[in-house]
Structure 1
Amino acid sequence: MAKLILISMVLLLGVSAPALGDEQEKLTVLAEGNEIPLLNNRFRIDHDVDKITLLFFRRQGSPAVVLVRPDGSKIYATHSLNDDNLQWHDELGYDLIVLNKPMPGPWQVVGQILPDSRIMVIGDISLQVDELPPLLFRGEIIKLTGKVLNDGEQVKIGRFRDVINMQVDFVSTNNNEYSNFGARTEHVANFKDDGRGFDERPGDAIFTGEFRLDFAAGQWRPEIALTTPIIQRKVVQEPVVVKEPPLTYELHEGAKGESHELHITLDEQLLDPQSVLLQGKIFYPNNDEQAFSLPAEQDNTRVITISNYEWGRYSLQIELYGTNSNGREFMAALPDYEFAIARPIEKVEEIAPPVSQGPTELAEQSDQPSAMSNALFYSLVVLGNVFILLAGWAAIRVLVQKKPLLGNINLLFWKKKSAQSDEQETNSSEANSDKNGSKSDKSGEILNLSMSDD
């Protein structure tokens, strides 16, 4: 059976330890001398202790402590690797040690333990957590408190906050009647006993914090776990139902120059309309912001006036404060409401049609241009085809057949030009013959070019 006691560390300066009453039988602080200077912390473990968990706080970054058994043998942190009866977790500022079947008698711890620290013997660690209400709304902000108990008593060692951590999860019940059927586990918060945020006091072993239900509506099972490097505790609560926010929206778009209106209708079956307060911000398309606040009213309808910036996207952040149907006050940061105004389409002015004429005149005027245009069109088509045929024939005759374009066609002016050319060539040849000593003269006689005997 695990035994647990919290005892103050005593520096051995020749001062006797105070009486511990009934706890003297379980654990004893020895006040006798110690040969190790400044590291003279001793305690006694009774013979009926089957399991004990020790927590030592030491200076940040200092080596792990060393345990000395009653027989003088030492236990180091590395021994936990090969010893099933020993678990050892060392961090920068503490050592958490679990001993199974420890040796009875006086023990000693050696290390740079803080002077104002305590040796903490951990027994039955338990966790007390506030019960979550059965009816919750999506977006609701929940404040939760958990207490750490050691053998049924609240832990009073401030440094214990460095060892433990509390986390909150919501697990889907996989009920096919709800929309979260088959959803994954939602991890919503980690609580620390550090006096920050909603935690009231640091080091009092009371974890206080808040979280927002920003996951899907449906049936969920809350699980709150207390975790340490060696010890884990979990509290599983009854399933709760997370509903959609108890209101509906209806947007009335304003005409040009008029404001938009967002009508919010509250669900009287889930909350009391007289207790509902609304506040938030409006974000306009031009990045302007406007805060609003709506007081409680008898009516279940609220109207938010939104300036008309014509086209663009609008967004509203809304917070709701009220009392639900079970009489529980709550606050919720509702999911953002967004809407968009489409950009108007510019209309082009229509051109006025010409003055209509009588049917007879209109028919006559329409027939004449039509007949003329048709005749001109057909004439151009015929001439174009003829030109294409002639051009194709000429190209084939000249380029492919290598024949003259006009063939054997003899024209009169071509014959006259040819005769004149022949006459000019004859005269030119005769002139050349007389000048160079031709064979015949103008009379046609043959010249004798032989030399005489004389």
Structure 2
Amino acid sequence: MVKSPAIARIARRVLLLALLCGGGQAPAAEPPPADLRILIDVSGSMKKNDPKNLRIPALKLLTDLIPKGAQAGVWIFAEGVRPLVPYGEVDGKWQQRARKAAARIHSRGLFTHIEKALDAAAFDREGKGAGERVVLLLTDGVVDVSKKPGESEESRRRILELQLPALQEAGFTVHTVALSRNADLELLKQIALATGGWYELAEDAETLNRIFLRMFEQSARVDTLPLKDNRFQVDGSVKEMTLLVFRAEGSEPAALHTPDGKVLTARDAGRALRWTSERGYDLITVEQPRPGEWWIEAEIDPDNRVLVVTDLKLQTTEPPSHLLAGEGLEFSLWLSEKGKPINRRDFLELVRASLENVPEQGEANRHELDLGEDNRFSLGHPLSPSPGRYQLVARASAGTFERERRLSIEVHPAPATAKVEPLETEQGQSFRAVVTPEQGLLQAGSLEVTGLLSAPGGEERQVTFAPEGEQRVARLEGLPPGVHRLTVTLAGKTARGRPFRVELEPLSFGEAPQPPEEPAAPPEEEPEPASGQPAGETPEPVDWTRAGVQALVVNLLILVPLGGGLLYWRRRRRAQPEPEESP
């Protein structure tokens, strides 16, 4: 029997309603709440790098986005560290306190004591948190703790050699933001890499709002609704939604169109509608939004978001923030209701799920996810993106139900480089293969290197690499003539402790044997001499240009005298008198 589209839509809605009533679930642990510690640099150099104090609206945005029930705190630091918003559970009062406290951000500090700041945020690193503990560090400078020579260098050394391993051991993730190219970029990158965090360079303070949004999405598991041309669909399970609408300086505040035709603006703010307009963005919260299609009247911006509080959530696997070229990216998503996975096959079979990987530059790639026996939607095969930064956008939809989640990953080139150098020996062709690990990507001492050497005739043998300081080295001696091929495989642990195994591009080396000299070609036979031409003489080629010039000269020698004589004759004739007629 063929069902009409209308009947199919009704069936989907009935299934969704039944789902929201609590059917078809299996027990599962609720994901732990977010835990975010924010460190804001208030040293004197911020007068130059943040003259408009745009750290204030950026911090307001971040603290307003943190979901209720999470744990969070804010510290400011310069020569010392001071709490700006006490660490604790996030609720409406905590967010109000954070908005007021943001106004106390300044640029009067004398030094930049990053070591003390990290110590303050990781106050509980001796214990284990309930979930992932995340630190967000914003600075525009270098480690600068004293005017005494050597003290700042010593503090930087302690961060790398003592503090960073302790943060790794305790499971902290540290995201870093450099608000100037004069900051210690290498230190901030190394801190982020070692802890599985995200690193950003803000070219100017105007970009802080968007950078803090990406850091928030890396730190907190939040559901969003897909936006298309500033339109989005709200289903009946959404209890609250928060809209983030970016706008250019001087532009009009946004307006919000409801499914029943009403137009909401900041003037309509009240108990069920909270509306905040800050420099560069509007933040709008609607409680118990009406199901149906909504529309944001504002400029379309790829960073606009609709965050929702709902019992019907999109859950995903957590890909690492940093991948190595050659590592496969596996990904799955599933749906949950009140923290329990949904196992209703009749509903799940109506769901369309996809993963889109969006590079910083270039075209996005969309991959359909398949529903498996475990009631999860997964990639058919691991992705192997090329080096670069990507945003992963996971989506699930069924009828009026839509969910979206965004994550960022960076794919790094191979964690080590390999080269083959010639060796001077008396044993035929001899070489030295050297593998050099990249700083910051690997756990110290974990790199293991193996090689497979292919000879010109096709024979293969294993190659053993031995440590020489940080490098791994193998000697390839007494090789027969010809071009050889070495395939290097790397295995070990990333800075975050994740095992990996990747294969580098094969290296070709050696000289191909010289081909034997070809015998000299026999001399060409001379053609038969032309008639009248002595044997052994070769006729000279005709120079047609010279012949043409000679012909022209001869013609001129003939024509010039003729022309002169004719001209003389005509003049003489004109000078003679006409003969008189006889009477």
What interval of TM-score do these two structures reach, taking the shorter chain for normalisation?
Answer: 0.3 to 0.5
Pick the structure with more helix per residue. Answer: 2
Normalised by the size of structure 2, how large is the TM-score?
0.33
Normalised by the size of structure 1, how large is the TM-score?
0.41
Structure label with greater radius of gyration: 1
